[in-house]
Structure 1
Amino acid sequence: MNIEIERKFLVNSEAFKVLAFNSYSIKQGFLNSHKERTVRVRLKNDNGYLTIKGLSSKNGLSRFEWEKEISITEAEQLLQLCEKGIINKTRFEIKSGKHIFEVDEFYDENAGLIIAEVELNSEIENFEKPKWLGKEVTGDVRYYNSQLSVNPFLSW
């Protein structure tokens, strides 16, 4: 069992792209997008993953997460069973101080949305905020990928 602690932010410019040390495409869908438990299938480059996440804490900072690597074939087959609303995005990894920010640039029905996440070791851990970091949206369920699949950004 793993407890994931992360903070989410909107991104106010594309300046992060030149700072990225890695980027890759992600295609993902949800077998279950219920707020108490989400079951996600993800294709990330040449790897497949099945991830289960639990209910977020009241402040939205932490929640249970379990992930297992699966074959590309299994991931592609499971994507066929997913709820409506497959998400396509590019993830950029950017080092800032001692942390790595994961910045997702969304496409299709979520085009125009760019979200940065930073994983922390505790809910009160300090971190360096890059200049391109915008408004904090931690705990705002509209920005959860499971919700973006059913209520995409372009429909807001």
Structure 2
Amino acid sequence: MRAQAPAVAKWHLDGMNYVFTMPLSDHADHSGGDYIYFQGHPREFDTDREEITTRGPDHPRVKTAPFQHVGDTMFTRGSRVYHAVTPVTRGDRITLAVSLFCPLLGKQDENRFWHSAPDDGLLRTLRNWGELRRAVHRPAAYCRREGIPILPLKKHTRP
């Protein structure tokens, strides 16, 4: 009987199109915590979801990001690449993940339902989404409410 692959954090697509991921800890400082992703179209993942999620990193189309050292980076189409993280079994895994969004470019969200974190639950996610939407539509009001200073732009003159 084959041992089941370790569970992973929830497989998901991100709400933003582009995601920059960078470890802030060396892989030698922890065991597990691997960023894994499905190499294929999201429809293919959805079709074979049960097999992929059961086999996890052992599935032939699931790849592991080559993060070994602080500063290794990966730039992905987070809304088009199913991904997850294996459990950390020793030490601490610290990662910086930045989702990129520019409201001036029009609709950037390819998902029908935007989420800030997949495991927050529906009510918390809806509240976070509402706060983001208000911040995008009224950035000055958001900055005042959060105590973020609004500095005047310096007029640039040519020398």
- Tell me the TM-score normalized by structure 1: 0.29
Compare CA radii of gyration and give the structure with the larger one.
Answer: 2
Which protein has the bigger helix share? 2
Which protein has the bigger strand share? 1
